[in-house]
Structure 1
Amino acid sequence: MKSWLQPPRLRIGEENEGEHRNATWLEHFYDLVYVVAVSQLAHNLSENVSLTGFLGFVVLFLPIWWAWIGTTLYANRFDSDEIAHRLLMGVQMLAIAALAVNVPHGLGESSDGFALAYAAARTILVIKYLWAGWHISQARGLTTHYARGFAIAASLWLISAFVPMPWRFVLWGIGLAIDFATPLTATRLQTGLMPHLQHLPERFGLFTIFVLGEAIIAVVSGVAEQDWGDQSAIAAAFGFGIAFSLWWVYFQNISGSALRTARASGRIQVFNVWLYGHLPLVIGLAATGVGVEHVILSEAESALPDAERWLLCGSVALCFLSLGILHRTGVIRYCKLRTKHRLGTVAALLALAIAGTNLLPVTVIAIVSIVCATQVLLDLYQSSSALA
């Protein structure tokens, strides 16, 4: 039988360099609550397709994404499969489930519950870091720094639950700023404790996959909610094409090379770009699914409303902007040409959002899908030319 209190162990460093690591079954199970949370966020945005709706979507997305990041980075460095760790993960899952439950009115009547749930999830993470630091002396500086920063942020979220709006949201902002700044102010402490080169890209890839899944759900839901016809079938096919192209462009270029470079050179900034650079990407992917669904559900013979057109074009543009930055900084395959391709796509999509006022829904989604597919073809052409 597994020990209840088997101490955490360091899963990174030279002695673990050759260890083959994949996400554990517990991590896969843990991700399920985030699938639900992202789905709730997407539903929220779907109910209010507007600038304020999108901003509210982002505000609630940030703490949910950061909660996943916190647990993922802890597991990357200190994962242990003992019973106490499993139980703490289970309690964290309950906290994230509570976050998801409170998402529909997370900026209104349920904002206190949302704050309490986030504070609970982060408090458990603080306990984990203190426990790891107690047993792993070489990581104690980093774990203490993380525990201190995350504890202060969690305290602000806890206090915010008992503070009236809008001051509640002011405390949220300060708390998130401290959360996000804590790893950035630990550069020296992280230098000798770089993440595992195989495990982390896989975890980020898995999160990207289930966020992309929202686009697939959107295609199915959009078609299921209306009579099957030529227009809806064509729009659905183009919607799937958008998701498929985004998957291709990201996963064709992802690797652990940036982390290897960061470890070899001691440039922790590369890792930080990896970490924070994925945020606009996953926000864009989640919002893209909502945009696709609304296009499919729009009146086929009428011009696509401005809000829906901007949501689809803007979300996909945000994805490619993020990909362009990740290319340019070497987080994914370093390539100046592909950076230009991605940024050119951003310009084309924004032009469509601005100038596509009188276009039918199927026309808009067709253009977006073709623009995305063009990125795949350009990558394939460049790769084949390099091999020639």
Structure 2
Amino acid sequence: MSTPHTPASLPSPTSEPGPRHARWLELFFDLVFVAVVAQLSHGLHGDPGWREFAVFLGLYFPPWWMWANLTVSANLFQDDSARRRVVMLIAMLCLAVMAAAVPEADGDRAPAYALGYAGTRLVLLALWWPATRYPAPRTLPRWRPLTYCLLSGVLWAGSAAVPAPWRYGMWVALLLAEMVLLLTARGRGIPGPVHTGHLVERVGLFVIIVLGESVLALITSTDHTWTAAAGVVAVLGFVLLAALWWSYFDFASTAAERVIGAAGTREAYLLARDVGGFLHFFVTAAVISMAAGLATAVEESGHDHLARGAVWALAGGLAAYHAAHALIALRFGRPLREVTVWALPGIGIPLLVVLGADVLAPWLVVLLLAAEAIAHLLYATTIRSRRQTAGTA
């Protein structure tokens, strides 16, 4: 439906910040990320070294970045036309190509990975180009989608013909250029207010995807290693994931909805960009890493200790998870002293577990991390109860 300020031929920008939920197309679109996450997590199984971790982060960021961009476009435009559906399905196909290329994306399948990402940039151009025809003040300067989407897509496609290792340097440079363009825009040209509930829901659904991969890793690894010791490690791993789920959706997502919802249009967009686009990359990457570490812990449950790379994937992942949430809390304006109280133990205890990797049995590693996650949850619950009691008084 057109608005008095928008021609009928253009997708309607959001005009009311009322309740919105993810559409069926968005949920279908997320299925391709189940494959992306599974492929990336598999690359960290066993005893990964620094190269494997670097490749993991490097290959995870482009699909995550595209997911964040497409999520924002769905948030800002209320458009369920056939055109948009076809465009989103094309993006899904491009990301599926990237997922299939992940196992050898640092080798023979790099051209396919680059071409898949190039296709998603062109999809993004198709979604944002109509915003360049909105009447002022909602008009988006045409040079931004032409550079951010079209030029980037052309250069990514061109990188498929560039030999390694120069190809990977080109990827890094292009991603940095995209981020610079986004940061310098500072919300100018945004066609309407951010639907906070929809955005928080979408990010939460992605967190569910990575937690789901962790649960699946526990189940499949237990199936491969059907022993009592593997069962103990799997149960402890599930307790760890359950505590993370509980704390995230009781505290992190509710805080995001409250803070972003109370902000003005541009500030809400900037908060969504920083927290949902940048910092949640580290939140979700940490959980994917933990999924790989948990799978290895189950498979090596009969050993005296875990390989150090597996402990880094698991305990280091938990430390990174807490560090990312500490940065999110600071971005939301929480006092440094308040954040430090829970962030330091949340980061320090997993790192101490890494130091003891050579003497800790797999079940003990997972037990200590699960105990830390439970303590973290209990602390947050206690603080909230005290604040609620004080507010009532």
- 1:299 shift after superposition: 4.4
User: Structure 2: which amino acid aligns with 1:386?
Assistant: R
Q: Distance in 2 between matches of 1:353 and 1:132?
A: 49
Gaps of 5+ in 1: none
Aligned to 1:98: 97
- Higher relative contact order by CA 8 Å / sep ≥ 6: 1 or 2? 2
Aligned to 2:43: 44
Aligned to 1:145: 144
- 1:337 shift after superposition: 3.0
Aligned to 1:246: 244
Where does 1:363-374 land on structure 2 (aligned, <5 Å)?
Answer: 363-374=364-375
Q: Distance in 2 between matches of 1:334 and 1:257?
A: 17
> Contact between 2:46 and 2:310, CA under 8 Å: does it hold in 1?
no
% identical equivalent positions: 26
Residues 268-300 of structure 1: CA deviation (Å, up to 9, x unaligned)? 543332131111111001111111110111142
Q: Distance in 2 between matches of 1:257 and 1:349?
A: 30
User: Structure 2: which amino acid aligns with 1:247?
Assistant: W
Gaps of 5+ in 2: 1-7
Q: Given the alignment, which residue of 4, 7, 10 partners 1:7? A: 10
Number of paired residues?
A: 378
Cα separation, partners in 2 of 1:157 and 1:94, compared to 1, 3 Å? same
> Contact between 2:47 and 2:308, CA under 8 Å: does it hold in 1?
no
Taking structure 2 as the reference length, the TM-score comes to 0.90
- 1:167 shift after superposition: 0.8
Aligned to 2:322: 320
> Contact between 2:244 and 2:373, CA under 8 Å: does it hold in 1?
yes
Cα separation, partners in 2 of 1:87 and 1:192, compared to 1, 3 Å? closer
User: Structure 2: which amino acid aligns with 1:363?
Assistant: L
Residues 58-89 of structure 1: CA deviation (Å, up to 9, x unaligned)? 11000010111111111111131111111111
Residues 167-199 of structure 1: CA deviation (Å, up to 9, x unaligned)? 111110111112222221111505774421211
> Contact between 2:193 and 2:265, CA under 8 Å: does it hold in 1?
no
User: Structure 1: which amino acid aligns with 2:11?
Assistant: P
Matched, 1:156 2:155: yes
RMSD of aligned C-alpha atoms?
2.2
Matched, 1:68 2:71: no
Q: Distance in 2 between matches of 1:156 and 1:118?
A: 11
Residues 95-131 of structure 1: CA deviation (Å, up to 9, x unaligned)? 1111111111011000011000100111111122113
Q: Distance in 2 between matches of 1:282 and 1:126?
A: 26
Taking structure 1 as the reference length, the TM-score comes to 0.91
Aligned to 2:194: 195
Q: Distance in 2 between matches of 1:32 and 1:193?
A: 28
Aligned to 2:233: 235
Matched, 1:310 2:308: no
Q: Distance in 1 between matches of 2:121 and 2:46?
A: 29
- 1:45 shift after superposition: 2.1
Classify the secondary structure of the residue corresponding to 2:108.
Answer: coil
| Segment of structure 1 superposing worse, 335-344 or 151-160 | 335-344
Aligned to 1:296: 298
> Contact between 1:160 and 1:168, CA under 8 Å: does it hold in 2?
yes
Q: Distance in 1 between matches of 2:246 and 2:142?
A: 37
Matched, 1:16 2:19: no
Cα separation, partners in 2 of 1:197 and 1:334, compared to 1, 3 Å? farther
Q: Distance in 2 between matches of 1:219 and 1:139?
A: 48
Matched, 1:271 2:269: no
* Displaced runs of 4 or more, over 6 A: none
Cα separation, partners in 2 of 1:380 and 1:142, compared to 1, 3 Å? farther
> Contact between 1:9 and 1:136, CA under 8 Å: does it hold in 2?
no
User: Structure 1: which amino acid aligns with 2:332?
Assistant: G
> Contact between 2:217 and 2:295, CA under 8 Å: does it hold in 1?
yes
User: Structure 2: which amino acid aligns with 1:365?
Assistant: V
Aligned to 1:122: 121
- 1:380 shift after superposition: 1.4
| Segment of structure 1 superposing worse, 52-61 or 35-44 | 35-44
Q: Distance in 2 between matches of 1:194 and 1:336?
A: 32
